[in-house]
Amino acid sequence: MQLDGNPVDMATTAVAVACIFIRPLRRCRYATAGMTLTQIIHDFLTGMVIVPFALLFAAVFSSDIFVAIASANRCIFAEGAFVGLLFVLRDFLIDAPS
């Protein structure tokens, strides 16, 4: 089997899946064990934005890096931006202090 996919897409998916398993291990140390579907989805979406955000941070140092990343991976950045927006809106609208 030859892996011929986009390296950024593969890394993003691998990190997102890894977060599903890493976060529950950390939760077991501090809280009760167990995973709900909501937690699994939350961990996957959190992991899905790590690689795009890291690449955007790296793009600060070179415009050539930014152009290469943006032209090859528009969909992944749109997903990362959408998930990031959802988390910010959730914190702003739902978890707002009363």
How confident is the model over 2-53, as pLDDT tens digits?
Answer: 777 778 778 888 888 898 888 777 666 665 556 778 888 888 888 888 888 8
Sequence-distant (6+) residues with CB within 8 A of 16 are 44, 45, 47, 48, 50
What's the predicted TM-score (pTM) here?
0.66
Token pair belonging to 64? 């050539």
| Dist. CA 73–CA 6, nearest whole Å | 8
